[in-house]
Amino acid sequence: MDEPFGALDINTRLQMQDLLCKIWTELQCTVIFVTHDIPEAVYLADEIHILRAHPGQIVSRIDVELPLARNRDLKRSPTFTRYVHQVEDEMINIQNFVEEEQAEKERKRKEALRKKKAKKAAKEAAKTAEPKSEAETPQKAE
């Protein structure tokens, strides 16, 4: 499911989360649920996989060791809060890594461009410094 509760009002969203937990507990099935809402991810998951874009790939996995029978009181527990903070911290670390990676790529791109320009300038300088052939050299009148 990809962001199935994203457009819902808060009351309906909470009811749907509880309903999904009930179905999940009863059926013991696997549900792949995509969300950008970290507390929702912690509440609904036993594993959280964090994706990065460009290319889209899983870069982190966090096991959520909370009881399978979940209720709203769980959201107020220190353990739940720790998981929310852990996911937030991991996402920030990943974003910082991605930004550093992008900055390094940009630095390399600029360095390659600088080298290309320097090579072109050296080629041009070499052309102007080459001696002209005899046909191009003006003859002195005697």
Residue 133 confidence class, pLDDT cut points 50, 70, 90: low
Phi first, then psi: give them for residue 15, nearest 5 degrees: -65, -40
Residue 142 confidence class, pLDDT cut points 50, 70, 90: low
CB atoms within 10 A of CB 20: 18
Mapped onto helix, strand or coil, the DSSP state of residue 112 is: helix
Q: Which of 2-6, 27-31, 100-104 has the lowest mean pLDDT?
A: 2-6
pLDDT of 132 strictly over 80: no
Best CA proximity match to 86, nearest among 59, 57, 64: 64
Best CA proximity match to 37, nearest among 82, 2, 62, 71: 2
CB atoms within 10 A of CB 17: 21
Tell me the pLDDT tens digit for each residue of 55-109. Answer: 789 999 999 999 988 888 999 999 999 999 999 999 999 888 888 888 898 999 9
Given a contact cutoff of 8 angstroms between Cβ atoms, the answer to whether 87 and 63 are in contact is no
Q: What does the domain layout of the chain look like in residue ranges? A: 10-110
Phi first, then psi: give them for residue 64, nearest 5 degrees: -105, 105
Tell me the pLDDT tens digit for each residue of 36-54. Answer: 999 999 999 999 999 988 7
How much is the pLDDT for 139? 62
Q: Which residue has the tokens 């994706």?
A: 51
Given a contact cutoff of 8 angstroms between Cβ atoms, the answer to whether 64 and 42 are in contact is yes
Given a contact cutoff of 8 angstroms between Cβ atoms, the answer to whether 59 and 92 are in contact is no
Best CA proximity match to 74, nearest among 108, 40, 112, 28: 40
How much is the pLDDT for 137? 56
